[in-house]
Amino acid sequence: MTSGGLTDFLIGHPAARDTPVLYGVDVERTLGELTASARILAGRLGPVTGQPVVCVVDDGVRAVTAMFATWLAGGVYVPVNGRLTAREVAAHVAASRPAVVVAGPDTRVPEGYDVLREDEPDVWTCACAPDRDEPASYGPEAAIVIRTSGTTGESKPVVLGHDGVRDGIDTVLGKLRGGRSAGRAPMPNLIPSSQALWAGAWNLLFAFRAGAPAILMDRFDPVAYAGLVRRFQIRSTILAPAMMAMLLEHEDVADLAPLKLVRSVTAPLAPDQARRFRDRYGVDVLNSYGQTELGSEVAGWTAADVREFGAAKLGAVGRAHPGIDIRIAGDDGAALAPDASGEIWIRSPFATGDAAGRVDAEGYLRTGDLGRLDADGFLWIEGRVSDMVNRGGLKIVPQEVEEVLRGHPDVADACVAGVPDERLGEVPVAWVRPKAGRTLDEADLAACSRRELAGYKVPVAFRVVADFPRTEIGKVLRRDLVADFVRTAAEPSDAQVP
């Protein structure tokens, strides 16, 4: 079996072998138990050196076991989200060309593959496919294949390497510790993101590298999350913006003590949302920034930054980590001055080779995000280039309009996107979700927008929705809202139907 690489995050965990290091739903695993389980599964995987091993993820503890087992066996780990439709799971598995598929006793798995099912803890049965395709093959550095979030189109596979992931995590840990040694035993890392997602897997690896135990949530539930914070006395944790919104709106979650600090992950959190969370729970919210193609988090906050800048920089994603270069570029590609808005380009030693056509001659990756760097080096995210609305040549950043709408006393959340227009090319439309028990009036929303925004930025229409379509990590699927708007607008009204 293979040691080294990311396998060392398990083998080298500093906890005693009888100490719990992994908590799932109604289950916990000591370091000795998890290591033994990973070795058992690695033995069942057989010779898979350089070959992909798919895990259809519907149980976090099994996914973590499969991840380390794959690396122990020399394979490349490929998580596939078990919450996808059967068609989507089949497509992702087929695209991976796996040597083996790892699954639970009731997990849906497409036919035509060798499948290892865990019928009972550490008891694996194999169903072999007689005529399966030849597995894919990767180089020795490949560790994990992650699919991008797919907010602007089809998700794409990205191959991450052992050294790049390890070095990226070590860089973040070093910045957070400020050069100090680990000192006292770290508190558990509460991970509310599924292990099918890079946000979940990365934070699991981060916890183990820090020598901490990890607490897994397969699905986010506000009440359960608050209970875990109390049970494990969590003072610092991560949350996606959509999770923070769910907590804010839940009547039964009035307190998150002893939580003091939340790091926003998977998507930038708007400053107004960060303020609402801090005001209700007394918890500081820090953004961070990264992309799968960049291999790791590339910008974030330190404790020293919080002490020095505090609320003055609330909403920024922090400053570049060591070894990371950030450039804000205009339409012509030239670097812009501090506080000027443009497209974000980043050069990272942890970046993957899966961004063909997006990297310039100097090694900067075009992120597709809009933002600015202030005079203190803090990065502010203002949206996606692809989300920008071009209204007859006038550019509108949706996030600016959304922040205004969220300031309306009856609005819980808002999303703005451009829809096709024959005369202007695009016009902005707003989808708004009311607070519980409130009703929304389109004329009132328009008046609210006109008070705060230039006329061309005011949405031409408002649609009240119960919620927004989202990806697994909580990012709003604007393209689905636009497609539904266009389809509805094309349908004849009742008055037009003969």
What kind and span of H or E run contains 316?
Answer: none
Rounded to whole angstroms, the Cα distance separating 167 from 209 reads 11
pLDDT tops 90 at residue 492: no
pLDDT tens per residue, range 404-463: 999 999 999 999 999 999 999 999 999 999 998 999 999 999 999 999 999 999 999 999
Rounded to whole angstroms, the Cα distance separating 394 from 396 reads 7
pLDDT tens per residue, range 310-352: 888 988 999 999 999 999 999 888 999 999 999 999 999 988 7
**Quick one: average pLDDT of 190-213?**
96
pLDDT tops 80 at residue 178: no
Angle between the N-to-C axes of helices 198-209 and 162-177, in degrees from 0 to 180, rounded to the nearest 10: 60
Contact 346, 294 (CB under 8 A): yes
pLDDT the model gives residue 426: 95
**Quick one: average pLDDT of 286-300?**
87
pLDDT the model gives residue 287: 86
Show contacts of 139-145: CB within 8 Å, 24+ apart.
139/50, 140/50, 142/50, 142/76, 143/5, 143/6, 143/71, 143/76, 143/77, 144/67, 144/76, 144/77, 144/78, 144/79, 144/201, 145/52, 145/76, 145/77, 145/78, 145/96
Angle between the N-to-C axes of helices 398-406 and 442-452, in degrees from 0 to 180, rounded to the nearest 10: 120
Architecture (CATH level 2) of domain 160-385: 3-Layer(aba) Sandwich (3.40)
Q: Give the DSSP per-residue string, 411-480.
A: EEEEEEEEEEETTTEEEEEEEEEEPTT----HHHHHHHHHHHS-GGGS-SEEEE-S---B-TTS-B-HHH
pLDDT tops 80 at residue 357: no
pLDDT the model gives residue 303: 78
Assign 498 a pLDDT band (cuts: 50, 70, 90): very low
Contact 294, 324 (CB under 8 A): no
Question: How far, in whole angstroms, is CA 340 from its chain's centroid?
Answer: 27
Q: Which of 308, 314, 299, 304 is nearest to 377 (CA)?
A: 299
Contact 102, 53 (CB under 8 A): yes
pLDDT the model gives residue 470: 87
**Quick one: average pLDDT of 358-367?**
91
Structure tokens at 368: 């597709």
Structure tokens at 230: 């109390």
Rounded to whole angstroms, the Cα distance separating 256 from 278 reads 11
Instruction: Give domain limits for the chain.
Output: 5-158, 160-385, 388-496
pLDDT the model gives residue 182: 57
160-385 and 388-496 share one fold: no
CATH number of 388-496: 3.30.300.30
Rounded to whole angstroms, the Cα distance separating 236 from 306 reads 14
Rounded to whole angstroms, the Cα distance separating 267 from 344 reads 15
pLDDT tops 70 at residue 180: no
pLDDT the model gives residue 181: 57
Architecture (CATH level 2) of domain 5-158: 3-Layer(aba) Sandwich (3.40)
Burial class of 47 by CB neighbour count within 10 A (0 to 12, 13 to 18, 19+): exposed
pLDDT the model gives residue 355: 62
